[in-house]
Amino acid sequence: MIDFLDVARASCESSLQVKAEFVKQGLEDVIEAADALAGAFARGGKVLVFGNGGSAADAQHLAAELVNRFILERPPLPALALTTDTSIITAIGNDYSFDEVFSKQVKALGEKGDIALGISTSGSSANVLLALEAAKEKGLFTMGLTGQKQGGMTSLCDILISAPSLETPRIQEVHGLVVHLLCELVDLKLFGHSQ
């Protein structure tokens, strides 16, 4: 007989443990990323965010919080999730390869002074890596959110924020926290006050 309370408690404890470890080792990277984002916005740049599956949801979450608002009432900030235009994604996937769905958008929309932020729990998603390569070639500042393995993202990201776990759910839970931290810190840096 499965004790569902024990299962739920164990998952929560695992999540809390990974987040506690991240607080010990990852917050400086988050602050550095928030500095870079705030600087890009202050100079008229934008952020292009991309990932697959749950990471696509995280990309859209970050873009929504920046364009609309997080907690503060403040002007919209320029952010694009490259995961949302099904016509572009399916055209590229059909005519070329799913591996190119983000890189072609980075090539079309990215400009020097912008930030490309790739999200991959494994660090090895081919379309995320190709988009980061394209961003580097165009002179964009590159950032990544990943897990403990980091994969090919290590050499492609100017700032890489890693969740200290090999389990996708735990990594995604840290990424959700990072999205909120970035929004809060960017607001503070640009608008000088918090909630």
- Point out the annotated binding site for substrate: 52-54, 65, 94-95, 120-122, 125, 172
- Using CA atoms, how far apart are residues 33 and 12, in angstroms rounded to an integer? 27
Q: What angle do CA 19, 57, 62 make, to 5 degrees?
A: 70
Of 153, 117, 106, 129, give the one whose Cα is nearest residue 40. 117
Compute how many other C-beta atoms are within 10 angstroms of the C-beta atom of residue 40: 20
Which residues does the annotation place in the binding site for Zn(2+)? Answer: 61, 65, 172, 180
- Using CA atoms, how far apart are residues 119 and 62, in angstroms rounded to an integer? 11
Which residues does the annotation place in the binding site? Answer: 52-54, 61, 65, 94-95, 120-122, 125, 172, 180
Q: How far is CA 177 from CA 19, 95, 101, 172, in A?
A: 9, 36, 26, 9
In DSSP terms, 145 is beta-bridged to 119, 161
